[in-house]
Amino acid sequence: MPLMMLGEKKYYIGMFFKANWYKAEQYCRFHGMHLASINSGDEQKNLEEHIQSFGMGHEHFWTSGTDQAEEGKFFWMSTGKPMTYENWNAGEPNNFQYENGEQEHCLELWNRDGKGLRWNDTPCSFETFFVCEV
């Protein structure tokens, strides 16, 4: 698998198929990785620039961020640690509830308003691309 060293971390960008949050994590785990955590502005910038470098800056990408354990308390599933750095889109996280009752509990990178790949909470069942890290 083509891993990319960005700063002090190695990443794999899952861009060849879309998966829900659970399948994305399963894929990462099967290959000895986890969905990515983003712990600093530098990590965010490195990852965003890398994704934009191959023309996918407009897509959605799963990270390991979730508040499934307790609403509103996001942490990184990959490490179990609470978030110490945040980069949410304006008005996020908002735990929007859909007509079918599904709520938003998983963190994706998404360039919603042209300001870069910021964070958004979205239903874990949505299928999108993903970022794994070693």
CA distance 57 to 123: 20
pLDDT digit string, tens, across residues 2-31: 899 999 999 999 999 999 999 999 999 999
CA distance 54 to 73: 33
**110 near 118, Cβ under 8 Å?**
yes
> pLDDT over 70 for what percent of the chain?
99
pLDDT digit string, tens, across residues 46-71: 999 999 999 999 999 999 999 999 99
